[in-house]
Copies of this chain bind each other. A is one copy, B any other.
Amino acid sequence: MITGKNCIGGQFKADGSVEFKTVDPKKNEENPTVFIEATKGEIDTAAELAWEAFKVFRKTSGKQRADFLNTIADEILALDQELIDTYMLESGLPEGRAIGERGRTVFQLRSFAKLVENDDWRENTFDAAQPDRKPQPKEDLRKTMIPLGPVVVFGASNFPLAYSTAGGDTASALASGCPVIVKGHPMHAGTNELVASAIAKAAEKTGMPKGVFSSVNGGTQTGIDLVEHPKVKAVGFTGSIGGGRALFDLAAKREEPIPVFAEMGSINPVIMTADAISKRGSELAKTYAGSITLGTGQFCTNPGLLLTVKSPDTEAFVQELAKETTAIDAQTMLHPNIKKGYESKGEDVISQKGVAVVGKYEGNLDANEAASIIASVSGEVFLKNPKMHQEVFGPFSMVVQCKDEAELLQIIEGLEGQLTGTLIAEKGDGANLLEIVDALQNRVGRIIYNGVPTGVEVCASMQHGGPYPASTDSRFTAVGIHSIKRWVRPISYQSFPMELLPDHLKK
Contacts and interface: CB of A to CB of B under 8 A. Distances in A.
Interface of A: 55, 58-59, 125-127, 136, 138-139, 141-143, 146, 148-149, 248-249, 252-253, 256-259, 416-417, 423, 427, 433-434, 437-438, 441-442, 444-451, 455, 457, 459-463, 465, 467-469, 472-475, 477, 482, 485-486, 488-497, 500
A495 B437 CA distance: 13
A141 B457 contact: yes
A441 B491 contact: yes
Contacts of A58: 442
A490 B445 contact: yes
A449 B489 contact: no
Query: For the complex formed by this chain, how many copies does it contain in all?
Result: 2
Contact of A490 (B143, B463, B469, B496): B463
Contacts of A417: 256
A416 B256 CA distance: 9
A489 B468 contact: no
Of A423, A451, A460, the most chain B CB neighbours within 10 A belong to: A460
Most buried by B among A138, A450, A460, A492: A492
A455 B417 CA distance: 40
Closest 5 pairs (CB-CB, A-B): A252-B252, A141-B461, A463-B492, A143-B461, A446-B492
A492 B143 contact: no
B449 A497 contact: yes
B485 A451 contact: no
Which interface residue of A423, A472, A495 has the most chain B CB atoms within 10 A?
A495
Given A445-B491, A492-B447, A472 B257 contact: yes
Given A462-B143, A491-B463, A449 B252 contact: no
Given A449-B495, A492-B447, A495-B448, A462 B141 contact: yes
B460 A127 contact: yes
6 contacts: A139-B451, A249-B253, A258-B468, A259-B475, A434-B500, A451-B495
A392 B417 CA distance: 42
Contacts of A253: 249, 252
A474 B148 contact: yes
Contacts of A248: 252, 257
A496 B259 CA distance: 33
A460 B433 CA distance: 38
A450 B490 contact: no
A441 B492 contact: no
A447 B491 contact: yes
A482 to B, nearest CB: 7
A260 B158 CA distance: 32
A227 to B, nearest CB: 14
Contacts of A259: 473, 475
Contacts of A489: 445, 465, 467, 474-475
B252 A141 contact: no
B143 A463 contact: yes
A455 B133 CA distance: 14
Given A143-B463, A258-B468, A447-B491, 8 more contacts: A125-B461, A143-B460, A252-B252, A256-B467, A427-B497, A433-B500, A447-B494, A451-B494
Contacts of A433: 500
A448 B500 CA distance: 11
A494 B446 CA distance: 7
Contact of A449 (B143, B477, B493): B493
Nearest to A497: B449
A2 to B, nearest CB: 30
Contacts of A142: 461
Contacts of A141: 457, 459, 461-462
Given A461-B141, A462-B141, A490-B445, A257 B500 contact: no
Contacts of A125: 460-461
A256 B472 CA distance: 9
Contact of A450 (B257, B460, B491, B495): B495
B475 A482 contact: no
